[in-house]
Structure 1
Amino acid sequence: MLNISNNSVKDRIDPYKFESYRKTIPHDESKKRVRILLYSLLVAFVVLFLPWTQNFRSRGMVTALKPEHRPQTVHSIIPGRIERWFVQEGDYVNKGDTILFISEIKDEYMDPELLMRTQRQVDAKALAVRSYEEKVKAQENQISALTENNRLRKEQAENRLEQAQLSVDSDSVVLEAERLNLSVATVQLERMEKLFEEGLKSLTELEQRKIRFQEALAKKISAENKLLSSKNGLISAQIELNAIDNDFRDKLAKANAERYAALSDQYDAEATVTKLENQLSNYTVRSGMYYVLAPQSGYVTQAIQVGLGETIKEGAEIVSIMPKDYSLAVELYVAPIDLPLVRLGNKIRFIFDGWPAIVFSGWPQLSNGTFGGKVYAIDNFTSANNMYRILVVPDPDEEPWPDALRLGSGADGIALLNDVPVWYEIWRQMNGFPADFYTLKDTRETKGKK
Structure 2
Amino acid sequence: MPFAEHPLSETHPLASGFRSYQRVQTPNLGRVLARWAAGLGLLTLLAGFLPWTQNIRSTGRLTTLRPQDRPQTVPSTLAGRIARWYVREGQLVKKGDTLVQIAEIKEKYFDPQLVQRTQEQLTAKQGALQENQAKNQALQQQMQALRAGLQVSLNKARNKVIQSELKVNSDEADLRAVRNDFAIAQRQQERQEALYAQGLKSLTEVEQRRLKFQESTAKLQSAENKLAASRQELTNAQLELSSLAAEYQDKMAKSESDRRSVTGYRFDTEGQIAKMRNELANLSIRAGFYFITAPQDGYVVRALKEGLGEIVKEGEPIVTVMPNAPVLAAELYVQPMDIPLLTVGRKVRLQFDGWPALVFSGWPGTSFGTFGGVVSVIDNIDSQGQYRILVTPDPELEPWPKPLRVGSGVYGWALLDNVTIWYELWRQLNGFPPDFVGDPGAAKDGKGGKEGKEAKKAEKGGATEEEAK
Q: Which runs of 5+ in 2 are unaligned?
A: 4-26, 195-199, 203-209, 457-469
Separation in 2 of the partners of 1:419 and 1:221? Answer: 145
**RMSD value over aligned CA atoms?**
4.2
Identify the range of structure 1 (84-93 vs 278-287) with the bigger mean alpha-carbon deviation: 278-287
Deviates most, 414-423 or 210-219: 210-219
Paired residue type of 2:49 = V
CA displacement at 1:38 relative to structure 2: 6.8
Task: Tell me how far 1:142 sits from its aligned partner.
Answer: 1.6
* Aligned position for 2:379: 379
Task: Show the counterpart of 2:438.
Answer: 439
Matches within 5 A, 1:5-404: 25=28, 32=35, 36=39, 39-40=42-43, 42-44=45-47, 46-47=49-50, 50=51, 52-164=52-164, 174=173, 232-383=232-383, 385-404=384-403
Q: Write out per-residue CA displacement over residues 197-223 of structure 1, whole angstroms, 9 at most, x where no aligned residue.
A: xxxxx999xxxxx99999999999988
The alignment's TM-score, normalised by the length of structure 1, stands at 0.76
Q: Secondary structure at the match of 1:376?
A: strand
Alpha carbons 2:347, 2:372 under 8 Å: kept: yes
* Segment of structure 1 superposing worse, 163-172 or 244-253: 163-172
Deviations 1:249-282 (A, max 9, x none): 2111111211222222222233223323322332
C-alpha displacement of 1:438: 5.4
Aligned counterparts of 1:347 and 1:165: Cα–Cα separation in 2: 116
> CA separation in 2, counterparts of 1:95 and 1:426?
55
User: Is the contact made by 1:92 and 1:297 (CA closer than 8 Å) also made in structure 2?
Assistant: yes
1:166 Cα deviation from its structure 2 partner? 5.6
Distance of aligned partners of 1:175 and 1:74 in 2 relative to their CA distance in 1, 3 Å threshold: same
Q: Secondary structure of the residue that 2:289 maps to in structure 1?
A: helix
Tell me if structure 1 keeps the 8 A contact 2:49–2:421.
no
Q: Tell me what 1:6 maps to.
A: none
**Aligned CA distance change for structure 1 residues 430 and 217 (closer, same or farther; 3 Å):** farther
Report Cα offsets for 1:124-166 as digits up to 9, x if no partner.
3222222322222222222122122112222323333444556
Query: Match of 2:15?
Result: none
Please give the alpha-carbon distance, in whole angstroms, between the structure 2 residues aligned to 1:136 and 1:36.
Answer: 115
Amino acid at match of 2:157: A
Q: 263-272 vs 139-148, which deviates more?
A: 263-272
User: Which one is further off, 403-412 or 136-145?
Assistant: 136-145
Distance 1:96 1:359 in 2: 45
1:138 partner letter: A
Deviation at 1:353, TM superposition (A): 0.9
**Change in 2 beyond 3 A, CA 1:230/1:403:** same
Gaps of 5+ in 1: 4-23, 197-201, 205-209
Whether the 8 Å CA contact 1:178–1:219 is kept in 2: the answer is no
1:412 aligns with 2:405: no
Question: What percentage of aligned pairs have identical amino acids?
Answer: 45
Q: In 2 relative to 1, CA 406–33 (structure 1 residues): closer, same or farther, beyond 3 Å?
A: closer
Superposed CA offset, 1:294-330 (max 9, x none) = 1212111212212223222222222221212321112
- Cα offset for 1:69? 1.4
Could you list the per-position Cα deviations for residues 341-374 of structure 1 after superposition, in whole angstroms to 9, with x for gaps in the alignment?
A: 2222222221111122232323323333221222
* CA distance in 1: counterparts of 2:201 and 2:335, whole angstroms: 153
Residues in 2 aligned to 1:61 and 1:324: alpha-carbon distance in whole angstroms:
19
Contact 1:53 1:420 in 2 (8 A): yes
Contact 2:346 2:375 in 1 (8 A): yes
Residues 178 and 223, structure 1, Cα contact 8 Å, conserved in 2: no
Q: Equivalents in 1 of 2:165, 2:335: separation in Å?
A: 108
Q: What is the TM-score normalised by the length of structure 2?
A: 0.73
C-alpha distance 40-141 of structure 1, shift in aligned 2 (>3 A): same
SS at match of 2:416: strand
- Structure 1 residues 375-405: Cα deviation after superposition (integer angstroms, max 9, x where no partner): 222223333x343322221111121111111
Q: Distance in 2 between matches of 1:139 and 1:306?
A: 65
Cα distance between partner residues in 1 of 2:355 and 2:303 = 30
Q: 1:265 to 1:220 in 2, by over 3 A?
A: same
Distance 1:141 1:311 in 2: 61
1:305 match: secondary structure = coil
Give how far 1:333 is off.
2.2
Structure 1 residue 114 displacement after superposition: 2.4
> Match of 2:358, SS?
coil
Evaluate the alpha carbon distance shift between residue 32 and residue 94 of structure 1 in structure 2; reply closer, same or farther with a 3 A threshold.
closer
Shift of 1:246: 1.0
Over 3 Å counting, the alpha-carbon distance change for 1:70 and 1:37 in structure 2 is closer
- State the distance in 1 between where 2:364 and 2:124 align: 79
The one-letter code sitting in structure 1 at the alignment partner of 2:300 is V
Residue of structure 2 in register with 1:10 after alignment:
none
C-alpha offsets along residues 39-70 of structure 1, whole Å, 9 cap, x if unaligned? 336514533xx3x4332122111112211111
**Number of residues paired by the alignment?**
413
Give a deviation string over 1:62-105, Cα, whole Å, max 9, x none. 11221111111222222222222221112211111122223222
SS of structure 2 residue aligned to 1:315: coil
CA contact (8 A) 1:349 1:372 kept: yes
Match of 1:21 in 2: none
CA 1:426/1:45 → structure 2, altered by over 3 Å: closer, same or farther? closer
Note closer, same or farther for the CA distance 1:127–1:377 as it changes in structure 2 (3 Å cut). Answer: same
Q: Which residue in 1 is equivalent to 2:12?
A: none
Give the whole-Å Cα distance in 2 for the aligned partners of 1:203 and 1:363: 175
Rounded Cα–Cα distance in structure 2 between residues aligned with 1:109 and 1:363: 69
Residues 131 and 37 (structure 1 numbering): CA distance in 2 closer, same or farther, change over 3 Å?
Answer: closer
